[in-house]
Structure 1
Amino acid sequence: MTYLRYELGRAELALAAEEQEAAAALRRPLPDPPAWLIKQGIGAGRPPVSVHAGDCWDRGKRWRPLSADEARRALSEGVRPCTHCRPDTALGVID
């Protein structure tokens, strides 16, 4: 009977520790989004599809961060700008 109480106590302590870790993870601040993103295509070469602002809602799932200079270069090389966040306007790359 004592062994059973011991095991129950250990299980309760483990559960309490997991709950504390989960609560701490929720309190951690989220990292700042990158300033600029490029949406990658599908396939072997994964060609770039579009340039987005870091907080754009239409960025999709296949993206990687860019610096402002890389974003300007991509736009000048013909990668289309997002029609929602308008990175070309914000970066001053309007034709």
Structure 2
Amino acid sequence: MPPDLGRLRTLETWLTLTLDRVRQQIKDAEQRQQPAPTPPPAPTPRSRTPDWGIVQAGIGTSTTEIHRGDCWAAGKTLQPITAERARTELADGAKSCDACRPDRPLGMPPPQP
């Protein structure tokens, strides 16, 4: 060790800087050893709203009804159907919903009173 204060202070500064560099190397090595964080799961895509739907006659519904897919009056039992099936069901006597009137865009004649 040097005998004078000036050189001891220089040695202290050098050791402090060296210790800081060593500590930084330790941090970097620890970060490399940690597993990579897992990304959050992708959001589940919402199912597409069908263009047309049918509600079968049953409890709470006296007749089979045809609805547009986005009809607020369709309820939770709406089953998606094709436009072709919607036309067929309407022609066979299924009721057209009074709220969304799917018979109009399907080109069906208005219901007779």
Higher Rg: 2
Residue in 1 aligned with 2:92?
77
After TM superposition, list the pairs within 5 Å mapping 1:9-88 onto structure 2.
24=42, 27-42=43-58, 49-88=64-103
| 5+ long unaligned stretches in structure 1 | 1-16
Q: Quick one: distance in 2 between partners of 1:36 and 1:48?
A: 17
Calculate percent identity across the aligned residue pairs. 37
TM-score (norm 1): 0.63
Higher share in helix: 1
* CA root-mean-square deviation: 2.3
Pairs aligned (count)? 71
- Which contiguous aligned blocks of 4+ residues in structure 1 show a shift greater than 2 angstroms? none
Q: Quick one: distance in 2 between partners of 1:67 and 1:42?
A: 21
Contact kept, 8 Å, 1:38 with 1:48, in 2: the verdict is: no
* Cα-to-partner distance string for 1:24-79 (whole Å, 9 max, x where unaligned): 4xx33311111110001226xxx852000011111122231111000000111111
| 5+ long unaligned stretches in structure 2 | 1-37
